[in-house]
Amino acid sequence: MKRVLIPSAAICSAVLSLGLMLGADKPATQPAGPSEADMQKMMEMMQPGAEHKRFEPLVGKFSAKSQWRMSEQEPWQSSEGESVNTMILGGRYLQQVFMGEMMGQPFKGLGMMGFDTMKKKYISLWMDEMSTSMMTSEGTADSAGKVLTFGGDMLCPMDGTMKPFHFTYTITDADNHSFEMFSPDMKTGKEFSGLKIVYTRVK
């Protein structure tokens, strides 16, 4: 008598098919869907709110006067540029396109700011031509909504370690705002102001 060899994969397939047929007459338990209240809450979380409106004074084209230094002991260097800011994706994010000069070279940067309605925090993303990294941070606003303070950690290109940083946007009025960034000094570890930018609306 010849023995018929059936591949194990075929046996597995047959067993699986039989199991599905035997269970076909048993209704599967369906997980309960989201309630109407849950759906309403989700829809509300998707919409921009009062926090997003705080970005409105930053929308437009601005001249930018920058000062920077690599350590607290070094003198300030300066340059000029411009920033074009636009609210995108239905007023959910402020996009910043920055064009200027840094260390005698043309410099371009791209930033995003928003408010995460789930985290209840302001969020920021920055990238530019001086790095292949994206700098992300989270922040809060003061009670008047005029000072936005962000903080996070970034990889230092000098020693390859993570360093804390924080920066502020101060909204003076609809035509003027400023930026200042703080990070640890490479030699002393003491926090210092390394970048200041004054923005003035171009009319």
Instruction: Indicate yes or no: pTM above 0.85.
Output: no
Whether residue 23 lies inside any domain: the answer is no
Whether residue 145 lies inside any domain: the answer is yes
Whether residue 141 lies inside any domain: the answer is yes
Whether residue 5 lies inside any domain: the answer is no
Residue-level pLDDT at 30: 62
Whether residue 43 lies inside any domain: the answer is no
Q: For the ranges 17-26, 42-51, 65-74, 162-171, which has the lowest average pLDDT?
A: 17-26
Domain that holds residue 126: 50-201
Taking all residues of the chain, what is their mean pLDDT, rounded to a whole number? 85
Q: What is the largest CA-CA distance in the chain?
A: 97
Whether residue 150 lies inside any domain: the answer is yes
Whether residue 31 lies inside any domain: the answer is no
Contact 125, 109 (CB under 8 A): no
* 185: exposed, middle or buried (Cβ count in 10 Å: 0-12, 13-18, 19+): middle
The domain tally of the chain equals 1
- What is the CATH number for 89? 2.40.128.20
Q: Model confidence over 146-196: pLDDT tens digits?
A: 999 999 998 877 777 888 999 999 999 999 999 999 999 888 889 999 999
Whether residue 138 lies inside any domain: the answer is yes
Residue-level pLDDT at 15: 37
User: Higher-confidence residue: 73 or 64?
Assistant: 64
Residue-level pLDDT at 40: 81
